[in-house]
Amino acid sequence: MRSGRHWPSRRRDKRPTGAGSSNTIQASPSRFALPLLLRGSESDLLSVQTAAAMRTRGPKPRLIEFAGVGHAPMLFNPEQIAPVVAFLGAA
């Protein structure tokens, strides 16, 4: 149970992760600078107003809304997969 403290680290490999170490992921910082916000139009957790507010703050994510879908789009059909693939290809 959490008691107001951060969860303990689950990282078992204690080797250095700084620049030049074998654990460093090499990715361009700009590649993922713009996040993607996925929303189902039938979501009862992420309202239209909240999604709109999220787009004006912080890193200003791109919003993709899926009609007739609940909170979390499952990304099982091509109509849902294609915009995500296009976003990742453009990043």
11-58 pLDDT, tens per residue? 555 555 555 545 554 445 555 567 999 999 999 999 999 999 999 988
- Measured in whole angstroms, the distance separating CA 6 from the mean position of its chain's CA atoms is 21
Give whole-number Cα distances, 77 to 10, 40, 72, in Å: 34, 14, 14
Per the confidence metrics, is the pTM higher than 0.75?
A: no
Residue written as token pair 């090499």: 26
Can you list the pairs that 17-23 forms with residues at least 24 positions away whose Cβ atoms lie under 8 Å?
A: none
